[in-house]
């Protein structure tokens, strides 16, 4: 009887070993699957903030053959950094063209306004041209918006949307400022005696409110002011224009 009980216990013990092994393998598979899922979640959480941190960008371009410049474009990031490119005459008296590029920072107020207007225009996700065919051609304009989640571009000659109209006027006024800077750099190098006339025109337009973001051309104006070979009246005018401009965003 005792021998029978011992054999029975032995058989039960032996019979439970495979069950324990199966449970152990199941737990191992579960643990491996759990770690795989957890690792995937961690990777996703790592990626999402990076995508969300991608800067938003607004771009504007104008192509208008026969005008000066006949092409220019802006690219503005959400932190205020901007790039301007154009193709225009080397000087008003020359037919030779040059490609000009410069980087600058929009003021905080203007940067904020541009992105607010882009939002009011639904980030240019639909048609923004008025569709009217009896309007004078003022050049092919394009507005674009891009961030980590969307990208839209819309072309127009004239838009009846107030937000688009304001953006167009703002970028055109900024281009006028930067074009003064481009011309002044050339005149300062090759025709110093013509500086006063150009600076006088610039000062008059700035006082009338036709120019914005004057700090974008401060480096050129500073070079003129620092040049002791330039007439004092010219240097004084350059200083006055510099003092009219806003202060760039802090830290840039």
Contact 93, 119 (CB under 8 A): no
Is 136 part of any domain? Answer: yes
Contact 174, 146 (CB under 8 A): no
For 133, which DSSP code?
Answer: S
Q: Are residues 123 and 100 in the same domain?
A: yes
Is 252 part of any domain? Answer: no
Is 249 part of any domain? Answer: no
| pLDDT digit string, tens, across residues 56-94 | 999 999 999 989 999 999 999 999 999 999 998 877 777
Q: Which pLDDT belongs to residue 146?
A: 97
Domain limit, last residue, from 29, 53, 77: 53
Q: Are residues 84 and 147 in the same domain?
A: yes
Is 251 part of any domain? Answer: no
| pLDDT digit string, tens, across residues 170-185 | 999 999 999 999 999 9
Q: Are residues 220 and 157 in the same domain?
A: yes
Q: Are residues 86 and 148 in the same domain?
A: yes
pTM for this structure?
A: 0.76
Residue 135's Cα: distance from chain center in Å?
A: 31
Q: Are residues 99 and 169 in the same domain?
A: yes
Q: Are residues 165 and 213 in the same domain?
A: yes
pLDDT value at 95 more than 60 = yes
**Dist. CA 103–CA 181, nearest whole Å:** 12
Is 250 part of any domain? Answer: no
The CA angle 41-45-49, to the nearest 5 degrees, is 165
Q: Are residues 130 and 204 in the same domain?
A: yes
Is 138 part of any domain? Answer: yes
pLDDT value at 29 more than 90 = no
Cβ-based neighbours of 146, under 8 Å, separated by 6 or more:
56, 57, 59, 152
Q: Are residues 105 and 20 in the same domain?
A: no
Q: Are residues 150 and 198 in the same domain?
A: yes
Q: Are residues 18 and 96 in the same domain?
A: no
Indicate the SS3 state at residue 191.
coil
Contact 143, 69 (CB under 8 A): no
Contact 114, 141 (CB under 8 A): no
Is 131 part of any domain? Answer: yes
Residue 96: which pLDDT band, with cuts at 50, 70 and 90? Answer: confident
**Total of domains in the chain:** 2
Nearest to 156 by CA among 121, 195, 188: 121
Q: Are residues 70 and 12 in the same domain?
A: no
* CA distances in angstroms from 44 to 2, 32, 47, 110, 200, listed in the order given: 63, 18, 5, 35, 58
Nearest to 81 by CA among 106, 51, 64: 106
pLDDT value at 114 more than 90 = yes
DSSP H stretches of helix in 53-161: 108-120
Is 62 part of any domain? Answer: yes
Task: Find the domain containing 187 and state its range.
Answer: 57-244
Contact 140, 110 (CB under 8 A): no
Q: Are residues 71 and 27 in the same domain?
A: no
| pLDDT digit string, tens, across residues 151-161 | 999 999 999 99
Nearest to 74 by CA among 108, 109, 100, 113: 100
**Dist. CA 122–CA 137, nearest whole Å:** 25
Show the tokens assigned to 147.
């961030």
pLDDT value at 6 more than 80 = no
The CA angle 212-146-124, to the nearest 5 degrees, is 75
């Amino acid at each position: 009887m005792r021998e029978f009980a011992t054999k029975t216990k032995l058989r039960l013990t032996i019979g439970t070993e495979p069950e324990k092994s199966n449970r152990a393998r199941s737990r191992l598979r579960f643990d491996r699957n759990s770690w795989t899922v957890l690792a995937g979640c961690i990777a996703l959480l790592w990626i999402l903030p990076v995508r969300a941190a991608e800067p938003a960008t607004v771009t504007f371009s104008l192509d208008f053959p026969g005008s000066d410049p006949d092409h220019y474009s802006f690219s503005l990031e959400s932190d205020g950094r901007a790039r301007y490119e154009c193709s225009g005459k080397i000087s008003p008296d020359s037919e030779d063209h040059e490609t000009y590029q410069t980087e600058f920072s929009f003021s905080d107020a203007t940067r904020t306004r541009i992105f607010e207007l882009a939002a009011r225009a639904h980030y240019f996700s639909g048609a923004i041209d008025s569709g009217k065919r009896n309007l004078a051609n003022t050049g092919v304009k394009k507005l674009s918006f891009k961030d980590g989640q969307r990208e839209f571009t819309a072309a127009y000659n004239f838009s009846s949307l107030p937000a688009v109209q304001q953006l167009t006027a703002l970028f055109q006024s900024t281009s006028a400022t930067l074009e003064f800077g481009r011309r002044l750099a050339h005149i300062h190098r090759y025709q110093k005696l013509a500086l006063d006339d150009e600076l006088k025109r610039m000062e008059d337009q700035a006082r009338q409110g036709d120019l914005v973001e004057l700090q974008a051309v401060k480096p050129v104006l500073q070079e003129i002011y620092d040049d002791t070979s330039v007439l004092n009246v010219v240097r004084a005018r350059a200083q006055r224009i510099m003092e009219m401009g806003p202060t760039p965003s802090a830290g840039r």
